[in-house]
Structure 1
Amino acid sequence: MPASVAYAPAAFAEAAEGASRLRLAAGTHPPRLTVCLPHAHKDHVFGGVSSVLELARFLAPRYPRLRFVSLSPLPEAGSRLDLSPFAKGREAAPPELADLHGDTPLAVDAGDIFLCSFWRSVLVWEAFAGLLGRQGRPANPFYYFIQDWEPGFYPLGLDHLLAEASYGHGQSCLAVVNSLELARFLAQKRYGFGRTVAVRPSLNPHLAQALSALGRKLPPRPTDRLTILAYGRPGHPRNCFPAVLDGLWRWLAAFRPALPGPVTLLSAGTPHENIVFPDGSELTSLGMLSLPDYAATLLQSHVGIAFMASPHPSYPPLEMAAFGLEVVTNAFAGKDLSKAHPAIRNAPPHRPAETAAALREAVTAALAGAGQLRPAVLPASLCPDGWQTNFRRAAIPILRPSA
Structure 2
Amino acid sequence: MINVKAGLLLGLTRLFFAHPWVLIKRVNLLNIRLLLAAIRRHDPATVMNYVKHAINQEKNAARIQSADDSASPGLRKARELETRYPGITVPVGLGGISILEEKFSVPNHKVDPHAPTRVNVLLPQLDPLIMFGGYIACLQFIRKIQDAGFRVRILLVESDRFDREAVYAKLASNPPLQQAVAAAEVEDITSGSNTLVISPHDAFVGYSFWTCIKAHRLAEVLGKKFIFFLQEYEPIFHSHDSYYAIGSYVYRLPHRAIFNTRLLADYFKSKRLGVFSMDRGDELEEHYVSFQHALTPTSPPSVDQLLKRETRRLLFYGRPEGHARRNLFEIGILGLRAAIAQGAFDGDWEFHGVGTLGPEYDIDLGHGRIMKLRGTLPQGDYGAALGEYDIGLSLMLAPHPSILPFEMASAGQIVVTNAYESRTAETLRAISSNIEPCEADPFSVANALATAVGRVALHQERIDGASFDWVRDWDDAFDKSVMDRISDMLRA
TM-score by length of 2: 0.68
The equivalent residue for 1:223 is: 309
The equivalent residue for 1:28 is: 114
Q: Which runs of 5+ in 2 are unaligned?
A: 1-58, 64-90, 276-283
Distance 1:391 1:74, change over 3 A: farther
Q: Which has the higher helix share?
A: 2
Which among 99, 114, 120 is matched to residue 188 of structure 2? 99
The equivalent residue for 1:202 is: 294
The equivalent residue for 1:162 is: 246
Alignment RMSD, CA only?
Answer: 3.3
How far 1:386 moved relative to its partner?
3.1
Q: Is the 8 A contact 1:219 1:374 kept in 2?
A: no
Q: Is the 8 A contact 1:217 1:373 kept in 2?
A: no
Distance 1:345 1:291, change over 3 A: same
The equivalent residue for 1:349 is: 440
Distance 1:107 1:390, change over 3 A: closer
Q: Which has the larger radius of gyration?
A: 2
Distance 1:167 1:148 in 2: 12
SS in 2 for 1:148: coil
Please give the per-residue CA displacement for 1:296-323, whole angstroms capped at 9, x wherever unaligned: 4312111000111112121111110011
Distance 2:156 2:181 in 1: 21
- The answer to whether 1:178 aligns with 2:260 is yes
Which among 196, 215, 235 is matched to residue 125 of structure 1? 215
Distance 1:11 1:202 in 2: 39
Distance 1:23 1:358, change over 3 A: same
Distance 2:336 2:291 in 1: 34
The equivalent residue for 2:454 is: 364
How far 1:220 moved relative to its partner?
2.5
Distance 2:386 2:98 in 1: 37
Distance 1:290 1:73 in 2: 33
How far 1:21 moved relative to its partner?
3.5
Distance 1:227 1:145, change over 3 A: same
How far 1:88 moved relative to its partner?
6.8
Please give the per-residue CA displacement for 1:104-125, whole angstroms capped at 9, x wherever unaligned: 4141313321121111110221
Aligned letter for 2:190? Answer: H
The equivalent residue for 1:232 is: 318
Distance 1:139 1:289 in 2: 47
Q: Is the 8 A contact 1:311 1:335 kept in 2?
A: yes
- The answer to whether 1:65 aligns with 2:156 is no
Identity of aligned residues (%): 22
- The answer to whether 1:191 aligns with 2:273 is yes
Distance 1:99 1:367, change over 3 A: farther
Please give the per-residue CA displacement for 1:97-155, whole angstroms capped at 9, x wherever unaligned: 2222357414131332112111111022133135x2xxxxx423332111111112212
The equivalent residue for 1:135 is: none
Moved more, 355-364 or 61-70: 61-70
Q: Is the 8 A contact 2:354 2:375 kept in 1?
A: yes
Please give the per-residue CA displacement for 1:225-255, whole angstroms capped at 9, x wherever unaligned: 1110001112212111111001110111112
Q: Which runs of 4+ in 1 moved over 6 A?
A: 86-91, 216-219
Aligned letter for 1:242? Answer: E
Q: Which runs of 5+ in 1 are unaligned?
A: 133-137
Aligned letter for 2:144? Answer: F
* Number of residue equivalences: 379
Distance 2:149 2:224 in 1: 14
